[in-house]
Structure 1
């Protein structure tokens, strides 16, 4: 049964469109279960009706015509209950609904299972037979498994069809909405530029070509390059291989002949498709055929086809990069998984928004988007990005939504928001040189998080009083090797000089988790609970000592350096790190450098540290909370996983209680408490953190004027009263909505945009 299931899933995955996928499902399930009827009913979200979309056994003329209300008939009952319904005599059931045009009156037994994707019922899969009997447990289990396996395929098929402007019933669609996760607030209206990973056939977008001959020449050049590579490898290994093994290279070369794979790709190009998309279609079809073969040896040849396809694609992509992609004026960058390097390739002056299929609102790309002031939507799992290239879309970074085929009314609505945001931004610029003081005289220090030199100008222009987090891993990530002491020193000196005499807090190297170095790979099954942060640098003191030495030498004559240790989970790590820092300090002094011992602090990011804040604070000079990771670890939610993104709540009662405890415990031993997570840059979050007693809030420069504006408009007493009300609540949703209502009361409703009513 497992092989049958795998075969069905592979065939359906390879279907070119939703219609053919549905036909394949009913046909193959009909054959596999040896039933007399197999049908699929899909739920039309616009009419809230189930529509018969495919059948094997019922009258084919009823397809698209038979419709049931949301809770009507047995199909509606399955959808409402969201569980299988197995009946030996369906017509006798009180919810049975008879449609004469289907010819189903003779079928007595009924088994229906819901098709559910991300908690949303997409439709119902039904099998029927004439005999009056219950389907047995194995049959029911098989149908449930098929439904679960194919739900994502159907969801993707619906989305792929609708992006072309038609819903699955063939009706014209507009204001098509794809739900994701809010990554960075704001609205962007622009044209998609899809970026896809190197040599990844699955990610190649579909688009036409304007010059068929040029595209054909590109493909021929790529094939010739791959053929040459294969010949060279074959010649190099010729003395080590037997003749029958050497013949495999000839097989590879044969696959690239014009009468094989290459010829079929060229046929697609002649039809007006670009070379990369044509290669993808042909290779996927070859792979599907090979994977469906029962013979294990022949089935493994699918791997060879994939390898060849990726090799050709790599050369095509190199040629494409060499041609230099044109970016439109209002570019919205879209990718399966956006990376900082992709952002760097697009001209900043043309970039207006970002969309990533993978990741969540607290992924590092989302954090970078907020730092750049770019609206961003993450975790749009079901969006068919290979169909989006060059399409006009709207990004709603407040509600985590993306719209294609916008109506004039929708376009007008979002244009008004863009204009309003521009006016608000101009008004906030006036606050740059004003202090952040509440109405009743409480001063709150506002610092910034930086990583690139481009952050410096933006930070100073927005009135930053210092740096609460300088991400030192940035110079490590843009190199193809560990940077030397001098290279690090130069980089750190730029940051320290730019903000002098204000303090700059430099976090020691924090790699691992979702921050990887290409030249120092860390491969782990669970990287967020693995070798990262201080754990890496203490295991490699040669990296830690060089970095601290560079920091100290860079601070000479400025004395505005603070050093911060990330991912501390126990006291021994602090003591070991401090021992190394003091050792370097004395060595640098002995070498003649006139430097002071900088304040050393610790990041509170893991639950174990929450309950040792007093003990930790007694050993260091300051405490700084990394609220992003702290929230992730407290709630056991991977903040890069869109499937659980809805469970990540910065305003979760446990998180707020922990943050309050940290501030109180740090102050109990007379140490400064600061916070450098994204919560500090949220206006509502800043109010609560101020009320908790935090001394410093550090955030992305773009958010600083908003936070300053809000804090200058409230009193500390009002914030403390609000905090007391929220700390006794037990729901993050209620806490957030109460906080948003409070912001509206003081005139900041534009910072908490309501969900748009469609």
Structure 2
């Protein structure tokens, strides 16, 4: 039976559309279980009915015609009970309903199992037989397993819009239905325009490995492709020069560095020299780099996999001499594709780019960083979007809520047009806040800092009124080389960051790599990298790495004295003691070399529950405490938010998370130590009142969130926020907590300035 199951699953997964998948299942299940009938009924939410969509054994003419309400018949009963129903004489059951068009009066045995995905009943899978008998446990387990496989197929069909083909058969459904897809916000704002679908002409995954006929010719081919791509990158940077600060153009330098002789280029040449043809060598190296980055826990570093793949595809396109027709860009162009890259932005004529939608990627993608700098509404990670069918169609993107509307009513379109006008007014209002202090109406002060990784982040942050850097990721210099960067190389990188923000403080996190952030030259293989050898655990085991980095940081701070050092993934006091010993050793060594530096402040990141309960002890040992809200939430709730099956359980407003955050702030202040919080929660303007009331001294966030968080703080009082905190801390549901805060902000007249509302709700 297991072999049969695997065969069916393989056939279903290769089906081109939902109808084909359903037909395969009913045919193969009937054969495997030796029954006379197998049928699939799907739930239609518009009409609140189960509809017969596929059958083997009943009359084919009944497909699409047989409909049952939510409580009608045995099928409806299976859906209501959300569990299998196994009967040896179905016609005798009080819920049995006869449909003459099916010809099913001759069948007695009935086994129906619900098709469920994430607690939602999608339909019912049924088998029937003429003779009176109960299906055995093995048969029931087999059918339950098939229903689980079918659930995934149906959900995918819903996401891609293929399931709407069934609705066309429904003569009752005449209303134009809004169709939307969910992603994550890459850059806020609303865009209404026509989709321009970007499809790459080269496929790295389809390049075979084969020996080179002429190694010298292959080296020449790669060298010429490398030069061409470098030229394209420089041209792209030049075309966007008048839309970006010079520092933001450094993103294109990151691309050039990836192609450096000490990085990708050298490895490809080495494989070619070993006898591999140029395209195969490129494919192997790119996929290896991409794999290293894609498994990283840090979302910023994980997104570098997209950049590497983009470079690889561009190189391959040149090597294959791929020719593509020129693209016609409308005046209201919205770029849509599987992976939208920075160089694609530069190809759009000035003034025509209105929005960006990318199936892959996140808010940490380089294209999202550039989009925020350019003020282009962007949505990333829109899984299941049927982007290949959108070219030339008018779409709406909601960069606030991360939604793409591919079908919509005239009323919804008008609503979004109103929001666009509101947005323009909001921008003018929020721009006036840049140079004003972040303090409440009753003069309670809180600092707004930023999380950075590139020079572009720093200068954009200063432009928006940031007062410091709460998290600078130091991993980047380590990721773009095929060896550990030298102390001098690290010092030069850190000096740029410190100097750009001086005299404001810059908090540099020490190297945070591990099983989930693998370096090509320092591989770590673990079964559970999230709970493994990572962060401070690695650097304490390798003091030679830790000492070089800390010395480089200190030397970079000479004359600036705005460095703060932060230790990641701390779980106990012993780790802090050992790290402090090494930091003081590095300080004395730097002084002995003749550098005139001051001892920087040192702090720890609280990211795991163990550290929550030792906050006071840790605070006695360091100068500041910083909460990594993303990881802390993940570890408290035991939820991997990148896992689609459980992502909806990840909620920063969960009562347990808020109680932990309150305890950390209280315990840190009991030791008179400054406490900050970084992560998505810190940049959520909805969360600002409760974090303020908890006593956090600093909120560190993405620079795009600064104006709205500041607006909220300046338009509420500290006493009001404390009253609100008292109310939410006794709530037992994250949804209730979030709704309570939103309603309070709406009553205070603040919500509309956080997020444009338009004439009607759009969600």
TM-score with structure 1 setting the length: 0.78
Please say if 1:25 is aligned against 2:25. Answer: yes
573 and 318 in structure 1: CA distance in 2 versus 1, 3 angstrom threshold: farther
The residue correspondences of 1:342-353 to structure 2 (distance < 5 A) are 342=341, 346-347=345-346, 350=353, 352-353=355-356
* Whole-angstrom distance in 2 between the partners of 1:471 and 1:385: 34
Tell me if the contact between 2:451 and 2:469 (Cα under 8 Å) persists in the aligned partners.
yes
- Distance (whole Å) between structure 2 residues aligned to residue 322 and residue 524 of structure 1: 43
Q: What is the match of residue 679 of structure 1?
A: 681
SS at match of 1:532: coil
Q: What is the CA–CA distance in structure 2 between the aligned matches of 1:534 and 1:604, rounded to whole Å?
A: 12
Q: 1:477 maps to what in 2?
A: 479
CA distance in 1, matches of 2:370, 2:140: 47
- Counterpart pick for 2:549 among 547, 550, 561: 547
Q: How far apart are the structure 1 equivalents of 2:65 and 2:402? A: 35
Alignment CA distance shift 1:692-1:367 (3 Å): farther
- 1:85 to 1:651, Cα distance in 2 relative to 1, 3 A: same
Question: Does 703-712 or 181-190 show the bigger shift?
Answer: 181-190
1:586 to 585, 588, 594: 588
How far the C-alpha of 1:458 sits from its partner, in A, is 1.0
**What corresponds to 1:661 in structure 2?**
663
Displacement of 1:103: 1.0
The corresponding residue for 1:68 is 68
Q: CA deviation at 1:749?
A: 2.3
1:229 pairs with 2:223: no
Question: In the TM superposition, what is the alpha-carbon distance from 1:69 to its structure 2 partner?
Answer: 2.0
> Following superposition of structure 1 onto structure 2, how do residues 103-118 of structure 1 map, counting pairs within 5 Å?
103-118=103-118
Separation (CA, whole Å) in 1 of partners of 2:605 and 2:326:
41
> Structure 1, residues 462-482: CA drift from partner, whole Å, max 9, x if none?
111111111112333344443
Cα offset for 1:81? 1.6
| Post-superposition CA distance 1:326-382 (Å, at most 9, x none) | 6957445554xx7xx9567654984834545688x9x88999699767766667555
5+ residue gaps, structure 1, are 202-221, 234-310
1:627-646 aligned within 5 A: 627-646=629-648
TM-score (norm 2): 0.78
Cα drift, residue 144 of structure 1: 0.9
Distance in structure 1 (CA, Å) of the matches to 2:406 and 2:188: 19
Q: 2:696 & 2:56 partners in 1: Cα distance?
A: 66
Change (3 A) 1:404 1:103: same
Partners of 1:498 and 1:686 in 2: CA distance = 27
Residues 59-91 of structure 1 show CA distances to partners (whole Å, capped at 9, x for unaligned) of: 111112222223222112112221111122222
Match of 1:560 in 2: 562
Q: In angstroms, what is the RMSD of aligned CA positions?
A: 3.5
SS of residue matched to 2:106: coil
Partner of 1:649: 651
Contact 1:354 1:374 in 2 (8 A): no
Q: CA deviation at 1:187?
A: 3.7
Paired residue for 2:601, among 588, 599, 602? 599
Structure 2 Cα separation of the partners of residues 87 and 314 of structure 1: 62
- Report the CA distance shift for 1:721/1:160 in structure 2 as closer, same or farther (over 3 A): closer
| Stretch moving more, 593-602 or 316-325 | 316-325
Q: Alignment partner of 2:652: what SS? A: coil
Q: 1:226 to 1:353 in 2, by over 3 A?
A: closer
Question: Residue 579 of structure 2 corresponds to which residue in structure 1?
Answer: 577
Pair 1:432 & 2:434 matched: yes
* SS across alignment from 2:583: helix
Q: 1:489 — aligned with what?
A: 491
Retained in 2: the 8 A contact 1:181–1:400? yes
Please report how far the alpha carbon of residue 92 of structure 1 lies from its aligned counterpart in structure 2 after TM superposition. Answer: 2.0
- Asked if 1 retains the 8 angstrom alpha-carbon contact of 2:474 and 2:511, the reply is yes
By how many angstroms is 1:723 displaced? 1.1
Deviation of the 1:162 alpha carbon:
3.0
Matches within 5 A, 1:55-204: 55-160=55-160, 162=162, 167=167, 169=169, 174-179=177-182, 186-189=189-192, 191=195, 193=197
8 Å contact from structure 1 (residues 156, 384) kept in 2: no
Q: Which moved more, 1:174-183 or 1:718-727?
A: 174-183
- In structure 2, relative to structure 1, the CA distance for the partners of 1:197 and 1:108 (3 Å cut) is farther
In the TM superposition, 1:414-429 aligns within 5 A as 414-429=416-431
Could you report, residue by residue, the CA deviation over 1:249-285 in whole angstroms, capped at 9, with x for unpaired residues? xxxxxxxxxxxxxxxxxxxxxxxxxxxxxxxxxxxxx
Deviation at 1:166, TM superposition (A): 7.1
Counterpart of 1:443 in structure 2 is 445
Is the Cα contact below 8 Å between 2:197 and 2:388 reproduced in 1? no
Separation (CA, whole Å) in 1 of partners of 2:419 and 2:515? 37
Residues 584-616 of structure 1 deviation map (CA, whole Å, 9 limit, x = unaligned): 111111111111111111111111111111111
CA distance in 2, matches of 1:568, 1:584: 20
Q: List per-residue Cα deviations over 1:523-558 (Å, max 9, x = no partner).
A: 333222122211222222222222111111111111
Whether contact under 8 Å (1:192, 1:332) holds in the other structure is: yes
Deviation at residue 384 of structure 1 after TM alignment: 5.0
| Distance (whole Å) between structure 2 residues aligned to residue 315 and residue 366 of structure 1 | 21
Q: Which residues of 2 match residues 286-297 of structure 1 at below 5 A?
A: none
Task: Please name the residue that 1:512 is paired with.
Answer: 514
CA shift for structure 1 position 122 = 1.8
In 2: Cα distance, 1:317 partner to 1:169 partner: 47
Aligned residues: 653
Q: C-alpha separation between the residues in 1 aligned to 2:165 and 2:36?
A: 35
Query: Are 1:568 and 1:605, in contact at CA under 8 Å, matched by a contact in 2?
Result: yes
Shift of 1:194: 6.1
Q: How do residues 235-246 of structure 1 correspond to structure 2 at under 5 angstroms?
A: none
CA distance in 2, matches of 1:312, 1:429: 40
Q: Paired residue for 2:504?
A: 502
Does the aligned pair in 1 maintain the 2:191–2:354 contact within 8 Å?
Answer: no
Kept in 1, the 8 Å contact 2:458–2:500? The answer is yes
Task: Give 1:507 shift.
Answer: 1.0
Cα contact 1:192–1:392 (8 A) shared by 2: no
Tell me if the contact between 1:156 and 1:383 (Cα under 8 Å) persists in the aligned partners. no
Question: How big is each residue's C-alpha offset from its partner over 1:208-255, in whole Å with a ceiling of 9 and x where there is no partner?
Answer: xxxxxxxxxxxxxx9xx859639899xxxxxxxxxxxxxxxxxxxxxx
